[in-house]
């Protein structure tokens, strides 16, 4: 298990992007009330999980998306449920609380797709790809 110091130690990551992209990120970060570093860190983490945080967990029933008692969305209810008046959560902690099942779901789905020969992993190529013929019909089309 890592020590507390190792968990909180920060390292610099540098990247180069076109000026127009940096300006867009800066504007978006300001709109969200975030620093540019926090914005980039959050977007990278969100991208690692999924591009969209689902409104519900797989075991929650589907609805029309409205919480009739407060007038908010299901996602709004999930955010409120993840918070408490006694403890503060950082942006990253809140993001983790709302997306905690994404990595498990991705892993399980990829395992199922590999077992059915629809997806292959290549260490040589460093990732996953559709298996040859994965979506061909019985005639090979």
Residue 68 has pLDDT above 50, yes or no: no
Q: Give the predicted TM-score (pTM) of the model.
A: 0.38
Averaged confidence pLDDT in the chain:
75
* Most confident residue range from 1-10, 55-64, 84-93, 130-139: 84-93
Residue 138 has pLDDT above 50, yes or no: no
pLDDT at 42: 81
pLDDT at 75: 77
How confident is the model over 15-25, as a mean pLDDT? Answer: 86
* pLDDT tens by residue, 30-63: 888 888 888 888 888 776 655 455 555 555 555 5
3 secondary structure, DSSP code: -
Distance CA 94, CA 38 (A): 13
Distance CA 112, CA 101 (A): 17
Residue 15 has pLDDT above 80, yes or no: yes
Residue 116 has pLDDT above 80, yes or no: yes
DSSP class per residue in 58-81:
TTSPP--SEETTTTEEHHHHHHHH
pLDDT band at 105 (very low <50, low <70, confident <90, very high): confident
């Amino acid at each position: 298990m890592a020590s507390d110091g190792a968990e909180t130690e920060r390292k610099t990551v540098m990247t180069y992007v076109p000026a127009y992209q940096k300006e867009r990120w800066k504007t978006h970060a300001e709109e969200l009330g975030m620093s540019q570093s926090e914005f980039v860190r959050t977007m990278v983490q969100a991208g690692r999980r999924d591009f969209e945080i689902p409104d519900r967990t797989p075991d929650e029933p589907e609805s029309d998306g409205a919480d009739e008692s407060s007038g908010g969305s299901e996602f709004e209810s999930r955010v409120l449920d993840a918070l408490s008046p006694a403890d503060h959560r950082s942006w990253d902690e809140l993001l983790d609380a709302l997306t905690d099942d994404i990595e498990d779901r991705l892993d399980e789905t990829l395992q199922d797709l590999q077992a059915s020969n629809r997806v292959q992993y290549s260490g040589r190529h460093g990732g996953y790809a559709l298996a040859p013929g994965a979506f061909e019909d019985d005639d090979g089309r």
